[in-house]
Amino acid sequence: MRYDLVTTTYLPGQANAAAQEAAANPAPGLAGYWLTEIGTLNQTVELWSQPRPAGEGAGQVAQTSWPLTAVVGPTPPLVTGGVYELRHYRMRRGMTQAWVGIFTAALPARQQYSRIVGLFASDEGEEDRVVHIWCYADLNTRAAARANALKDPIWKDFLATTRAQSMVVRQEVSILLPAGHSPLA
């Protein structure tokens, strides 16, 4: 299924107002709605299962939208609330599908430590991108899960293989808090 991941940057103090406006005017197709907490601040991150309704919010500075195909999920998290980790990778040209194959093969091992909420990738012919979303009860739980995964031989193999092939060109990580109206909360 196709999804749009929309990141909107606002002037300081305006992202919360945008979230309140979105909550007051729900639109069909919203799969997730978060506010950045760590990373670039004053942003909303929205996941849509159908085109996002047009509209420009007060204080909006910039917006990016990436069409992606769901590979895994989205799956409701095991915890309510919590913190979400959004990992956005820019892949080396033509490497997206190969990386996804290696990742999904190693995913059962990784999910022993935390469950993925969603894995999304660009389709062939589009700009090479991968996005995955994780949910944790808190940042300490995230740190413990990541530390344990790094000890797992299958996960270590995945990292070594993808790094040896230089599949990922750039990684961005944001820590997000779910807005009250987010279906994935």
Give me the CATH number covering residue 111. Answer: 3.30.70.100
Give the tens place of pLDDT for each residue, 44-100.
999 999 877 776 566 778 888 889 999 999 999 888 889 999 999 999 999 999 999
Running DSSP on this structure, what letter comes out for residue 171? E
184 in any annotated domain: no
What is the percentage of the chain residues whose pLDDT exceeds 70?
98
Region 21-38: mean pLDDT is: 92
| Per-residue pLDDT, 78 | 82
Cis geometry, peptide bond prior to residue 178 (ω within 30 degrees of 0): no
| Per-residue pLDDT, 55 | 65
154 in any annotated domain: yes
Task: Considering only residues 1 and 85, tell me which one the structure prediction assigns the higher pLDDT.
Answer: 85
| Per-residue pLDDT, 27 | 87
The number of domains in the chain is: 1
185 in any annotated domain: no
| Per-residue pLDDT, 58 | 65
Distance CA 164, CA 171 (A): 16
What residues make up the domain containing 143? 2-178
183 in any annotated domain: no
10 in any annotated domain: yes
Residue 25, SS3 per DSSP:
coil
Q: Which residues pair with 87 in a beta bridge?
A: 132, 173
